[in-house]
Amino acid sequence: MIRYLLGIILFISVFSFSACKDDETKAEPYLNVEETLLQLDEKTQQTTIDVNTNIDDWDVTSTDEKWCIAARLMTSGNRVQIYVSENKDTDLRKASVFIEGGSFKHEIKVEQLGSAPGILLTKDTLLVDAAGATRQITATANITYDVKLSDNGWITEAPRGRVTTTTYTFNMDENSRYEARFDTIVFRSTDAAAPQLEVKLPVMQKAKTSSPGEVEVEGDPH
């Protein structure tokens, strides 16, 4: 009987200790934002961005630019709204939005075209392994344009279907040669306001690396 009572007391003690330990153990804090670059045309507009976090008291600030205002949406979960006014100047302008919580700080770069004709790309270079890859590029422009590929054939654009979009998907074939290769994707204006404007996107693909079975040993009778 005494052993039975001692067993019950021990069980209750262990259970209580575990419960206290669980209460004291909290999930590791995290704060993630997928967006790192926001490129916009010259018009007034606003964009909403999701914030993935378990931190309650995170905050959002922006650089001291009156044309770019960022605020946390308190009524719709973890979201940030970024507002930009019309850019009536000629040149591109830039700002930064910072999302901070705990020890985390995430920067979103904001770029807005001016009245001058322009094309912005989310990447300035594509670096591809020899095995080939698929890459996406988003273009923002205030003019009409076409996308031109060379005749080399190892870069192709994936079909975009019937929906017009500014996001382009390019497929790069495997490089079977033992030397790197280079090419260029050109975003070229078709607008009379800027007939000479074009933005070049360099593509660099690594060389194939030889495997042991492909190395020829000098003097090997086989």
> One digit per residue, pLDDT tens: the chain, 222 residues?
555 544 555 545 544 545 544 544 578 999 999 999 999 999 999 999 999 999 999 999 998 889 999 999 988 789 999 999 999 999 999 999 999 999 999 999 999 999 999 999 999 999 999 999 999 999 999 999 999 999 999 999 998 765 556 899 999 999 999 999 999 999 999 999 999 999 999 999 999 997 655 554 444 444
> Of 53, 82, 112, which residue constitutes the final position of a domain?
112
How many folded domains does the chain comprise?
2
> Of 80, 112, 144, which residue constitutes the final position of a domain?
112
> Of 83, 112, 141, which residue constitutes the final position of a domain?
112
Asked if residue 133 belongs to a domain, the reply is yes
CATH number of the domain to which 36 belongs:
2.60.40.10
Asked if residue 171 belongs to a domain, the reply is yes
| Alpha carbon distance 203, 191 (integer Å) | 25
> Do 142 and 106 share a structural domain?
no
> Do 171 and 144 share a structural domain?
yes
Asked if residue 169 belongs to a domain, the reply is yes
> Do 42 and 72 share a structural domain?
yes
> Do 126 and 108 share a structural domain?
no
> Do 135 and 106 share a structural domain?
no
| Alpha carbon distance 67, 194 (integer Å) | 26
Asked if residue 218 belongs to a domain, the reply is no
pTM for the complete prediction? 0.77
> Do 127 and 55 share a structural domain?
no
> Do 107 and 80 share a structural domain?
yes
φ/ψ region of 213 (left if φ > 0, alpha if ψ in -120 to 50, else beta) reads alpha
> Do 164 and 100 share a structural domain?
no
Asked if residue 9 belongs to a domain, the reply is no
> Do 73 and 106 share a structural domain?
yes
Asked if residue 129 belongs to a domain, the reply is yes
3-state helix, strand, coil in the chain (%, to 5): 10, 40, 45
Asked if residue 20 belongs to a domain, the reply is no
Asked if residue 94 belongs to a domain, the reply is yes
User: What is each CA distance from 149 to 7, 95, 172, 188, 201, in whole angstroms?
Assistant: 77, 32, 12, 11, 10
List the domain range (segments joined by +) for residue 128.
119-205
> Do 143 and 73 share a structural domain?
no
